[in-house]
């Protein structure tokens, strides 16, 4: 970013109010481990040569994160950088002095991350940081899944729905799309993310959501299995999955009370879903296929962990402004 500021930029810096967007971006800028994440991508990023020079890696990563937080398409991300001074500050772009990437450049960077499966590595780096800071606990795991809707219409070039998405019934309603399965610690910090079509049974994904060191396991009725409960308890663990009733054997009043207590603890897994789906807009898929949407989910849940823990990670002398 150029050290010389335009008059408009200087006037913006002297305004009397710190907006909520500006505060949010400043807080995330302070807690994201930039050096770790850039080191993951650097070996795969184009190097400067004799021809056209690539845009700085850190700038592209910052723009990619802006896309996730504000649910922006590639063209909308380019437009937002022209429209919003707070976004330009976060992306370290000075209007008039620095080159703002066009939508094709933003698209190619996203494809680079997907092609080399770097979003999974970025997610793992964030988990390593949280473990080092003792913010990711290993005592227990909460498991859950959420449905991400996909367009059911066939009014497109292929005249067909996305073949990797399926429909499922939840209550009395039918949903078409995918499922994101997560495993979190007892505070709701996500440590595993997996994506399947919406029709996949939650319990089939359970082995991929555990890290193997947990003593407690919490989940809703979709994860209950008697054989699994017996094996878990024989291994010395505490099986806290909600019991499932049947028409021939409905739950007793005592079992319902136990389920309510377990659900109160299990509800922490919903915090990350709230951030990703409600605050950041990942309630509907943007891309076709599971792989691209899984890459987006890995990025968003990694950032959601930092967002949920930001108060404990910010330095004591933190000032909410973007330089």
- Return the pLDDT at 158: 82
Say whether both 189 and 226 belong to one domain: yes
- Return the pLDDT at 52: 67
Find the domain containing 149 and state its range: 137-291
177 in Cβ contact with 198 (< 8 Å): yes
- Return the pLDDT at 246: 85
Query: 219 pairs with which residues across the strands?
Result: 241
Considering only CA atoms, which of 144, 219, 140 is closest in space to residue 187? 140
- Whether residue 313 is contained in a domain is answered as no
Say whether both 229 and 271 belong to one domain: yes
Say whether both 141 and 64 belong to one domain: no
- Whether residue 105 is contained in a domain is answered as yes
3-state helix, strand, coil in the chain (%, to 5): 50, 15, 35
- Whether residue 20 is contained in a domain is answered as yes
- Whether residue 323 is contained in a domain is answered as no
Model confidence, pTM: 0.91
Say whether both 143 and 112 belong to one domain: no
Say whether both 57 and 166 belong to one domain: no
CA distance 72 to 64: 9
DSSP 55: P
**Alpha-helical regions (H) of the chain:** 7-13, 20-31, 34-41, 57-70, 74-83, 85-91, 103-115, 118-132, 226-234, 253-266, 269-273, 290-308, 310-313
Say whether both 162 and 199 belong to one domain: yes
- Whether residue 234 is contained in a domain is answered as yes
- Return the pLDDT at 245: 87
- Return the pLDDT at 182: 98
* Mean pLDDT of all residues belonging to the chain: 91
pLDDT tier at 13, thresholds 50, 70, 90: low
Say whether both 101 and 52 belong to one domain: yes
- pLDDT over 70 for what percent of the chain? 93
CA distance 78 to 108: 13
**Which pairing describes strands 190-197 and 166-170: parallel, antiparallel, or unpaired?**
unpaired
Say whether both 178 and 229 belong to one domain: yes
Angle between helices 290-308 and 57-70 (to 10 degrees): 90
Phi, psi of 142 (to 5 degrees): -105, 130
Show the tokens assigned to 265. Answer: 């603890």
- Whether residue 95 is contained in a domain is answered as yes
Max mean pLDDT range (2-6, 240-244, 302-306): 302-306
pLDDT tier at 219, thresholds 50, 70, 90: very high
Look at residues 84, 116, 148 and tell me which one is the last residue of a structural domain. Answer: 116
pLDDT tier at 309, thresholds 50, 70, 90: very high
For residues 175-198, average pLDDT: 97
What is the number of domains present in the chain?
Answer: 2
Instruction: Count the neighbouring beta carbons within 10 Å of the beta carbon of residue 63.
Output: 27
- Whether residue 297 is contained in a domain is answered as no
* 280: CB partners within 8 A, 6+ apart: 68, 69, 70, 71, 300, 304
Say whether both 142 and 285 belong to one domain: yes
- Return the pLDDT at 51: 58
pLDDT tier at 110, thresholds 50, 70, 90: very high
- Return the pLDDT at 48: 76
pLDDT digits (tens, 9 = 90+) for 287-302: 999 999 999 999 999 9
**Distances from the Cα of 312 to the Cα of 37, 48, 290, 322, angstroms:** 20, 38, 34, 20
Say whether both 261 and 183 belong to one domain: yes
Q: How far is CA 226 from the centre of its chain?
A: 32
pLDDT digits (tens, 9 = 90+) for 38-72: 999 999 998 876 556 688 999 999 999 999 999 99
Give SS3 for 235. coil
Show the tokens assigned to 79. Answer: 């437009």
- Whether residue 46 is contained in a domain is answered as yes
Say whether both 58 and 201 belong to one domain: no
Predicted confidence (pLDDT) at residue 12 exceeds the cutoff of 70: no
CA distance 152 to 158: 13
Say whether both 168 and 275 belong to one domain: yes
């Amino acid at each position: 970013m150029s050290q010389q500021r335009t008059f408009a930029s200087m006037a913006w810096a002297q305004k009397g109010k710190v907006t909520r967007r500006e505060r949010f971006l400043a807080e995330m800028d302070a807690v994201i481990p930039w050096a770790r994440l850039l080191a993951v991508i650097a070996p795969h990023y184009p190097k400067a040569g004799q021809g056209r020079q690539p845009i700085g890696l850190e700038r592209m990563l910052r723009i990619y994160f802006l896309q996730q937080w504000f649910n922006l398409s590639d063209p909308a991300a380019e437009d937002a950088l022209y429209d919003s001074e707070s976004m330009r500050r976060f992306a370290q772009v000075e209007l008039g002095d620095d080159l703002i990437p066009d939508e094709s450049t933003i698209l190619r960077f996203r494809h680079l991350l997907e092609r080399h499966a770097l979003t999974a590595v970025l997610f793992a780096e964030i988990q390593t940081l949280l473990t080092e800071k003792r913010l990711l606990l290993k005592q227990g795991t909460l498991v859950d899944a959420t449905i991400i809707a996909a367009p059911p219409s066939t009014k497109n070039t292929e005249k067909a729905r996305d073949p990797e998405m399926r429909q499922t019934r939840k209550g009395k309603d039918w949903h078409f799309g995918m499922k994101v399965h997560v495993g979190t610690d007892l505070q709701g910090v996500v440590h595993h993310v997996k994506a399947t079509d919406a029709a996949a049974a939650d319990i089939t994904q359970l082995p991929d959501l555990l890290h193997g060191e947990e003593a407690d396991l919490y989940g809703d009725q979709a994860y209950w299995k008697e054989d699994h409960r017996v094996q878990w308890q024989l291994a010395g663990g505490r099986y806290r999955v909600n019991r499932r009733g049947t028409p021939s054997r409905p739950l007793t009043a005592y079992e319902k009370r136990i389920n309510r207590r377990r659900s109160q603890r299990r509800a922490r897994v919903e915090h990350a879903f709230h951030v990703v789906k409600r605050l950041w807009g990942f309630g509907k898929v943007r891309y076709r296929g599971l792989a691209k949407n899984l890459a987006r989910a890995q990025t968003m849940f990694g950032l959601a962990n930092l967002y949920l823990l930001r108060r404990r990670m910010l330095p004591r002398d933190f000032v909410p402004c973007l330089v």
